[in-house]
């Protein structure tokens, strides 16, 4: 069925290693960000399996709120917002710093819409020591936690909220719960 949908123009296909990856044409215009999409999906599965009582909020629900995370999960007393950053984004200028500043200025719009305080988790595909050094240097104040993608994926599925792998503004490592 997938090849037929590609022929009809309802899907696009791109080779990723030895397999084909399919996407809706309106989403896949131009450059493909397969690794980014996989990392976002990995994060969603891992966090949702940590507490399946949450309600998943897709990226499109954040458009117009000045902060657009990859996705969010609404829990009883908060909303967890997920930001994935590639190694390139982390090393390029002040991209992550800019995201933190943007969230500091506009997170209240998300909190008002969903009626819950927000916590932003940055999962960065970079060296853990570099992330720790960055957090110690920048000291991002607010509801922000940072971790590296490798440590994030090494935590067993279902333990993302309780694993002590997240740097906070003081440079120390904490669990999210």
- Cβ neighbour number for residue 15 with a 10 Å cutoff: 10
Question: Quick one: 10 and 68 in the same domain?
Answer: no
Residues 60, 136 within the same domain:
yes
Residue 71 has pLDDT above 80, yes or no: yes
Tell me: do 52 and 25 sit in the same domain: no
Same domain, 21 and 63: no
The model's pLDDT over 83-107, given as tens digits with 9 standing for 90+, comes to 999 998 898 868 899 999 999 999 9
**Which helix H or strand E contains 168, and what residues bound it?**
none
For 4-19, how does the pLDDT look when each residue is reduced to its tens digit (9 = 90+)?
A: 999 999 998 888 889 8
Range of the domain at 1: 1-30
Q: Residue 35's pLDDT is what?
A: 85
Is the pLDDT assigned to residue 31 strictly greater than 60?
no
Burial of residue 81 (CB within 10 Å: 0-12, 13-18, 19+) is buried
Q: Do 97 and 15 belong to one domain? A: no
The CATH number for 90's domain is 3.40.1350
Is the domain of 25 the same as that of 52?
no
Distance CA 159, CA 70 (A): 20
Task: Write out pLDDT tens, residues 118-177.
Answer: 999 999 999 999 999 999 999 999 999 999 999 999 999 999 999 999 999 999 999 999
Tokens describing residue 33? 């960000």
Q: Is 171 left (phi over 0), alpha (psi -120 to 50) or beta?
A: left
- Give, in order, the Cα–Cα distances in Å from 43 to each of 70, 88, 101, 106: 10, 19, 23, 23
Q: 169 with 157, same domain?
A: yes
Full-model pTM: 0.88
On whether both 81 and 136 belong to a single domain, the answer is: yes
- pLDDT of 29: 54
Q: How many structural domains comprise the chain?
A: 2
Claim to verify: residue 72 and residue 22 sit in the same structural domain: no
Judge if 47 and 19 occupy the same domain. Answer: no
Q: State whether 108 and 54 are in the same domain.
A: yes
Q: Are residues 18 and 51 in the same domain?
A: no
């Amino acid at each position: 069925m997938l090849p037929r949908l590609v022929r009809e123009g309802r899907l696009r296909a791109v080779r990723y290693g030895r397999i084909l990856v399919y996407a809706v044409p309106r989403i896949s215009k131009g450059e493909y960000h397969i690794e980014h999409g996989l990392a976002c999906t990995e994060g969603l599965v891992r966090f949702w399996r940590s507490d399946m009582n949450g309600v998943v909020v897709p990226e499109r629900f954040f458009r117009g709120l000045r902060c657009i995370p990859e996705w969010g999960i609404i829990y009883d007393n908060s909303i967890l917002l997920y930001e994935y950053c590639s190694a390139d984004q982390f090393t390029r200028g002040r991209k992550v710093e800019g995201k933190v500043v943007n969230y500091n200025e506009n997170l209240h719009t998300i909190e008002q819409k969903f009626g819950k305080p927000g916590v932003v988790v940055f999962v960065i595909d970079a060296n853990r020591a570099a992330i720790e050094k960055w957090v110690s240097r920048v000291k991002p104040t607010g509801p922000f936690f940072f971790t590296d993608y490798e440590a994030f994926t090494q935590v067993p599925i279902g333990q993302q909220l309780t694993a002590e792998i997240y740097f906070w503004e003081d440079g120390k490592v904490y669990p999210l719960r």
